[in-house]
């Protein structure tokens, strides 16, 4: 069973940057799309970004487009989320998730994902 571990969260001032990593176990990680979601206190979990299994297709929520970049290194079984120009409203627990079906597509709906990490906290101060 695949395990996903997020890292790279922390406290940063508004305008700053962080890079989140999602490291996965298993030899078939490269067969699946991967997404990042986030959940702020008192709010529902929301889609942030997704990358196709081969890395050629990228998808972003409107709220992060132009500021966040998702990428993957299948040789390292790792997906990244580079977050620039951070805003206080980006404060949330960030989760990575592996797609439910090999070769995709998994995009912006939670039900398209079958394995989730434990999350990493991102806090942006004003």
Mean pLDDT of the chain: 96
CA distance 114 to 99: 6
| 69: three-class secondary structure by DSSP | strand
- Count CB-CB contacts under 10 A for residue 40: 14
Contact 94, 81 (CB under 8 A): yes
| Mean pLDDT within 86-100 | 97
pLDDT of 1 higher than 90: no
CA distance 96 to 60: 14
Contact 78, 51 (CB under 8 A): no
Q: Tell me: the pLDDT tens digits for 61-88?
A: 999 999 999 999 999 999 999 999 999 9
CA distance 43 to 28: 33
What is the model's pLDDT at position 125?
98
How sure is the predictor about 93, in pLDDT bands with cuts at 50, 70 and 90?
A: very high
Beta-carbon contacts of residue 66 (< 8 Å; ≥ 6 apart)? none
How sure is the predictor about 126, in pLDDT bands with cuts at 50, 70 and 90?
A: very high
What is the model's pLDDT at position 26?
85
C-alpha of 75 from chain center: 18
pLDDT of 27 higher than 90: no
- Count CB-CB contacts under 10 A for residue 105: 13
């Amino acid at each position: 069973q695949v395990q996903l571990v997020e890292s790279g969260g922390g406290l940063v001032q508004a305008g700053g940057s962080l890079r989140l990593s999602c490291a996965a176990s298993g030899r078939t990680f490269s067969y699946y799309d991967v997404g990042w979601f986030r959940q702020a206190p008192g709010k529902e979990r929301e889609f942030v970004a997704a990358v196709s299994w081969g890395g050629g297709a990228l998808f972003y929520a409107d709220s992060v487009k132009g500021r966040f970049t998702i990428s993957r290194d299948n040789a390292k079984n790792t997906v990244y989320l580079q977050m620039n120009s951070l805003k206080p409203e980006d404060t949330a627990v960030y989760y990575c998730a592996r797609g439910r079906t090999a070769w995709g597509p998994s995009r912006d709906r939670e039900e398209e994902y079958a394995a989730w990490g434990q999350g990493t906290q991102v806090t942006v101060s004003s």
